């Protein structure tokens, strides 16, 4: 099962990396905040809240990247700031409400999610939308079911891809 999982996960990662133009657009959009002396605020709904610990406690912390919520409250944002929002699916009501609020406040948003059953209420609210296309569990069982939906792992991969691309963009401005 481990070999199947690693092969399937590698396939997911390869599919994500093929969206090179989207990553460049998203990274450029997020880098604009840093260049403009703003911040990139990150939020993840449900299991994607785990990305926040990478930002606050990870080995590579960046003063320009901060959690959007502290003690349940949205940070004070300026028009130069950007938000990077992770959610499992585009029908996530918490993410939709947050994206609408940010959009109404003219805050730029990059949304990372996947579209399920054609339900897409988020991509239209995003300045840049990254579809990670993880629509089913990866590993078949002997009983005919499937197990293992590594959404957080996929989100962390995307987060680091964005950081790497942002780093390249920002190095051109130094």
Under 8 Å between Cβ of 133 and 114: yes
Q: Is the pTM of this model over 0.75?
A: yes
Q: What tens digit of pLDDT does each residue of 57-107 get? A: 999 889 999 999 999 999 999 999 999 999 999 999 999 999 999 999 999
- Of the candidates 152, 92, 137, the one whose C-alpha atom is nearest the C-alpha of residue 119 is 92
* Token pair in block for residue 21: 């133009």
Q: What SS3 class is residue 87? A: strand
* Token pair in block for residue 7: 């092969």
């Amino acid at each position: 099962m481990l070999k199947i999982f690693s092969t399937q996960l590698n396939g997911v990662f390869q599919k994500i990396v093929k969206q090179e133009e989207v990553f460049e657009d998203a990274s450029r959009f997020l880098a604009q905040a840093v260049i403009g002396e703003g911040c990139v605020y990150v939020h993840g709904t449900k299991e994607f809240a785990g990305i926040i610990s990478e930002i606050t406690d990870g080995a590579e912390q960046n003063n320009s990247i901060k959690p959007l919520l502290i003690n349940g409250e949205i940070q004070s944002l300026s028009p130069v700031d950007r938000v990077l929002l992770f959610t499992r699916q585009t029908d996530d009501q918490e993410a939709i409400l947050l994206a609408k609020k940010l959009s109404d406040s003219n805050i730029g948003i990059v949304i990372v999610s996947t579209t399920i059953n054609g339900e897409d209420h988020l991509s239209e609210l995003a300045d840049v939308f990254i579809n990670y296309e993880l629509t089913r569990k990866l590993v078949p069982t002997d009983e005919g079911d499937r197990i293992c939906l590594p959404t957080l792992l996929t989100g962390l991969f995307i987060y680091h891809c964005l950081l790497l691309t942002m780093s390249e963009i920002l190095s051109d401005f130094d």
